Amino acid sequence: MGILRTLLFVPGNQARMIDKAVSTPADAVILDLEDSIPTSEKESARAMVASAIGRFASGRPQVFVRINSLLTPYAAADIEKTVIQGLRGIYLPKSESAEEVRQVDRLISEREKAVGLPGGSVGVLALVETARAVLKVCEIISASPRLLGVALGAEDYAIDLGVARTKEGREIAYPRMVIPVACHAVNVQAIDCVYMDVRDTEGLITEARYAKQLGFQGKQVVHPSQVIPVNEVFTPSPQEIEYARRVVEAFETAVKRGYASTSLDGKLVDIPVAERARRLLAQYEAITEAEDQRQK
């Protein structure tokens, strides 16, 4: 599973923005065919996106396509035209049931076979945007082996609840608790919602840190200026890496001496603490490897 600290939305009908997105430091680009595209431009945007996917074939950044909802007449054609070599996955909006995920799975499978792609090579990210979807999230994440993760769509969720979106985010507290727990239970990625005020970098960083503490592993972004701050939040700091290495070393030394715990800098180091340190180091290794590939 690729690193997904940042997922940058790019309108599928804006050639200049797509051009810039090819070299973005974001881990993933979401070429959008849904909300940012007026009905009159759906077909032309689809063609533009399909022709652009090959430019992301190196896999850095990874490229996803947000298709239109399955309830619209556009979704099947979106999948047919964009499931091609270089696509990392389909971004499925308005995901409300396991059956919807399975339906997309079937459409992708047919297209993979038709164009000669390896079966299962194209993943799915499910966008949870309604109260019903939040209640069904455990079913959604277990519906298909293609599912890479779940992303929170806070704006539509607030509309569904009939409340206003706020910077404090109290109105999305419940899905922000449920989604990471459900995702970690089956080892898929939890992706936090966008932060709409692109001028408020301090607020963005604060929210990203909060999301990370809840168990989210990345965040959707709507402007290139948001990418680097969010990447930094979801990347372990040098101090964290150094301490994690010391924790693992201290614990392994204790185990060799016949102990299941020890102390480091006055703090208990036991099995859960050591495992958390190992996971942090593995995450950092994956990020470093991905960044090295980007430089090649």
The domain that contains 158 carries what CATH number? 3.20.20.60
Whether 97 and 195 map to the same domain: the answer is yes
Q: Which pLDDT score, from 0 to 100, does residue 210 have?
A: 97
Whether 85 and 212 map to the same domain: the answer is yes
Q: Which pLDDT score, from 0 to 100, does residue 144 have?
A: 97
Q: Is 226 left (phi over 0), alpha (psi -120 to 50) or beta?
A: alpha
- Helix (H) or strand (E) holding 161, with range, is helix 154-161
Does residue 177 contact residue 209 with C-beta atoms inside 8 Å? no
Residue 269 backbone dihedrals phi, psi, to 5 degrees:
-120, 110
pLDDT in tens, 35-80: 999 999 999 999 999 999 999 877 789 999 999 999 999 999 999 9
DSSP states along 232-284:
HHTS--HHHHHHHHHHHHHHHHHHHTT-S-EEETTEEE-HHHHHHHHHHHHHH
- End-to-end Cα separation, the chain, in angstroms: 20
Q: Which pLDDT score, from 0 to 100, does residue 56 have?
A: 85
Residue 30 backbone dihedrals phi, psi, to 5 degrees:
-110, 105
CA distance 176 to 132: 15
Q: Which of 187, 210, 233 is the last residue of a domain?
A: 233
Does residue 85 contact residue 117 with C-beta atoms inside 8 Å? yes
State yes or no: pLDDT of 156 exceeds 90: yes
User: Mean pLDDT throughout 235-250?
Assistant: 95
- Give the pLDDT band of residue 290 (cuts 50, 70, 90): confident
Whether 100 and 245 map to the same domain: the answer is no
**The length of the chain, given as a count of residues:** 296
The DSSP letter of residue 109 is: H
CB-based burial label for 260 (10 Å; 0-12, 13-18, 19+): exposed
- Give the pLDDT band of residue 228 (cuts 50, 70, 90): very high
Whether 155 and 191 map to the same domain: the answer is yes
| Assigned domain for 1 exists | no
Q: Which of 190, 209, 233 is the last residue of a domain?
A: 233
Whether 270 and 147 map to the same domain: the answer is no
Q: How many CB atoms lie within 10 A of CB 230?
A: 29
3-class secondary structure, 12: coil
State yes or no: pLDDT of 34 exceeds 70: yes
| Assigned domain for 58 exists | yes
State yes or no: pLDDT of 296 exceeds 70: no
Q: Which pLDDT score, from 0 to 100, does residue 86 have?
A: 94
Handedness of CA 125, 166, 212, 31 (dihedral sign): positive
CA distances from 229 to 130, 236, 280 (A): 28, 13, 19
Whether 158 and 291 map to the same domain: the answer is no
Whether 150 and 247 map to the same domain: the answer is no
CA distance 250 to 114: 54
Whether 253 and 141 map to the same domain: the answer is no
| Assigned domain for 124 exists | yes
| Assigned domain for 225 exists | yes
| Assigned domain for 182 exists | yes
Q: In the chain, pLDDT over 90 holds for what percent of residues?
A: 93
Structurally, the chain folds into a number of domains equal to: 2
3-class secondary structure, 103: helix
Name the average pLDDT for the chain. Answer: 95
Q: Which pLDDT score, from 0 to 100, does residue 279 have?
A: 92
| Assigned domain for 36 exists | yes
**Enclosing domain of residue 196:** 6-233
| Assigned domain for 173 exists | yes
pLDDT in tens, 171-222: 999 999 999 999 999 999 999 999 999 999 999 999 999 999 999 999 999 9
State yes or no: pLDDT of 289 exceeds 90: no
- Give the pLDDT band of residue 1 (cuts 50, 70, 90): low
Q: Which of 199, 233, 267 is the last residue of a domain?
A: 233
Q: Which pLDDT score, from 0 to 100, does residue 222 have?
A: 97
Residue 10 backbone dihedrals phi, psi, to 5 degrees:
-135, 125
| Assigned domain for 217 exists | yes
CA distances from 80 to 15, 51, 65, 216 (A): 21, 13, 12, 31
Residue 125 backbone dihedrals phi, psi, to 5 degrees:
-110, 125
Residue ranges of E strands in 72-119: 89-92
Whether 173 and 214 map to the same domain: the answer is yes
Whether 95 and 228 map to the same domain: the answer is yes
Cis peptide before 236 (omega within 30 of 0): no
pLDDT in tens, 80-133: 999 999 999 999 999 999 999 999 999 999 999 999 999 999 999 999 999 999
Whether 176 and 102 map to the same domain: the answer is yes
CA 96 to mean position of chain CA atoms: 18
Whether 180 and 250 map to the same domain: the answer is no
